[in-house]
């Protein structure tokens, strides 16, 4: 990717607190957690964005990448159904709407999506007692047999630990068996917010922070790369966010195994937490979405890629985020279920022409990448872009 020299427009940063952080960045000093809190607390959104944009441009130039990916959620049955109060996706085994795909259903869904364009499956689901190691190794072998060119990014750290527990195996044994069956990388979901107090309130039985980090460390030590996330916009404080980012930065210092950081916006509809907070219908603000992306870019100085998830924050905010430190957008997706179960009103897929238009609209250069963030093809010439040949089935904006 084409990078440029760090060029911070100090004269356009209004808040002295943000300028002080910018001085540290310019001098090559790492940001402290207190610096991150100051950035979150600053009213100077533009200043924070300009700083994050300068850092991103120095790393990635004007290039914005995306993957031709497809989400598959094989089971929504989950043992933590009643204790992850922010989740609207999970069901108990006999509850209405519970499902677990058979292998044939997984293969049918895998083949049905995206006109053969899919290059990556993103496979996550619930902690289902009937979906152990064999369920997933059989699935991955079959997917690799039928669609050998497709990368398998599957199973969060929480799911890996769940399989290890029900199979009475270690994390590394599970990871090795899954890799042997076809697993290529791990997604970053399940981190939520690491703070023990926050977890007690929103996900009291979920895998703790040290174990989330431990599973990713075990994966990295086996040579399996992964992504990482943070769920924001619920009950956490700015200090909680920075404690979380510190743990991610520390692991990246140790292993270098993370590919990308992806902040995830909490959606308050159709879950217990949203009712308790009186937030139903009130998602995170665009300002906070942009701040989370920008602070992630600035604090995680050992990450090359920061990704915006347009399903959660809307395509419009993701487009603006390309000027707030973001260099990667969630890709084509095809059929997203988890965030739509908690009120996401965005479309469930995006076509290639739509993604290209979104990126070009921000004045950036689109490029399709593989799952290791290597560029497959650049779209330097807008005149060569594929055109939209069919109307969208769902509108782009929130509120559809």
Q: Which residues bind ligand SF4 (CB under 6 A)?
A: 78, 80-81, 84, 87, 89-90, 126-127, 158, 206
**87 or 294: CB nearest ligand SF4:** 87
* Half-sphere exposure of residue 21: CA atoms within 13 angstroms, side-chain side: 29
Tokens encoding 372: 């290791």
Least gap, CB of 23 to ligand SF4 (angstroms): 40
DSSP state of 271: S
* Positions of E strands within the chain: 63-66, 69-72, 120-123, 151-154, 226-232, 258-265, 305-308, 328-329, 365-369, 375-378
Give 245-248's long-range contacts (Cβ < 8 A, gap of 24+). 245/33, 245/36, 245/295, 245/296, 245/299, 245/300, 246/33, 246/299, 247/194, 247/209, 247/213, 248/300
Least gap, CB of 83 to ligand SF4 (angstroms): 7
10 Å Cβ neighbour count for 81?
18
Least gap, CB of 307 to ligand SF4 (angstroms): 20
Closest CA to 332 of 90, 65, 84: 65
Residue with tokens 């479309």, as numbered in its chain: 347
**159 or 184: CB nearest ligand SF4:** 159
**270 or 301: CB nearest ligand SF4:** 270
| Residue 129 near residue 98, CB atoms below 8 Å | no
Least gap, CB of 124 to ligand SF4 (angstroms): 8
**131 or 290: CB nearest ligand SF4:** 131
Least gap, CB of 227 to ligand SF4 (angstroms): 16
Residue nearest to ligand SF4 (CB): 84
Least gap, CB of 319 to ligand SF4 (angstroms): 28
**158 or 181: CB nearest ligand SF4:** 158
**36 or 88: CB nearest ligand SF4:** 88
């Amino acid at each position: 990717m084409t990078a440029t020299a760090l060029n911070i427009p100090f004269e356009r940063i209004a808040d002295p607190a943000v300028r002080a952080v910018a001085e540290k960045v310019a001098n090559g000093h790492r940001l402290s957690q207190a610096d991150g809190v100051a950035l979150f607390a600053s009213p100077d959104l533009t200043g924070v964005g300009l700083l994050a944009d300068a850092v991103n441009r120095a790393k990635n130039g004007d290039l914005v990448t995306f993957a031709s990916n497809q989400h598959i959620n094989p089971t929504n049955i989950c043992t933590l159904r009643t204790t992850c109060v922010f989740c609207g996706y999970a069901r108990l085994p006999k509850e209405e709407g519970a499902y677990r795909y058979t292998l044939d259903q997984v293969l049918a869904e895998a083949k049905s999506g995206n006109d053969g364009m899919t290059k990556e499956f993103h496979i996550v689901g619930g902690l289902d007692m009937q979906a152990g190691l064999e369920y997933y190794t059989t699935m991955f072998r079959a997917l690799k047999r039928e669609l050998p060119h497709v990368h398998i990014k599957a199973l969060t750290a929480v799911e890996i630990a769940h399989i290890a527990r029900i199979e009475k195996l270690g994390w590394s044994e599970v990871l090795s068996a899954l890799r042997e069956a076809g697993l290529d990388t791990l997604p970053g979901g399940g981190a939520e917010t690491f703070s023990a107090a926050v977890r007690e309130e929103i996900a009291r039985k979920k895998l703790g922070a040290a174990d989330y980090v431990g599973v990713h460390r075990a994966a990295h030590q086996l040579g399996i790369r992964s992504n990482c996330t943070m769920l924001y916009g619920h009950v956490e404080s700015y200090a909680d966010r920075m404690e979380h980012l510190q743990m991610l930065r520390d692991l990246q210092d140790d292993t270098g195994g993370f590919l990308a950081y992806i902040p995830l916006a909490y959606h308050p509809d159709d879950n217990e937490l949203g009712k308790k907070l009186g937030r139903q219908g009130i998602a995170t603000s665009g300002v906070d979405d942009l701040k989370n992306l920008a602070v992630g870019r600035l604090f995680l100085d050992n990450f090359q890629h920061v990704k915006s998830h347009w399903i959660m924050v809307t395509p419009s905010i993701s487009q603006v985020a390309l000027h707030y430190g973001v260099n990667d957008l969630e890709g084509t997706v095809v059929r997203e279920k988890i965030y739509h179960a908690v009120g996401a009103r965005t479309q469930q897929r995006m076509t290639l022409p739509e993604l290209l238009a979104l990126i070009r609209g921000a004045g950036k250069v689109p490029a399709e990448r593989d799952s290791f963030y290597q560029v497959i093809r650049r779209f330097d010439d807008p005149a060569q872009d594929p055109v939209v040949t069919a109307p969208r089935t769902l509108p782009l904006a929130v509120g559809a």
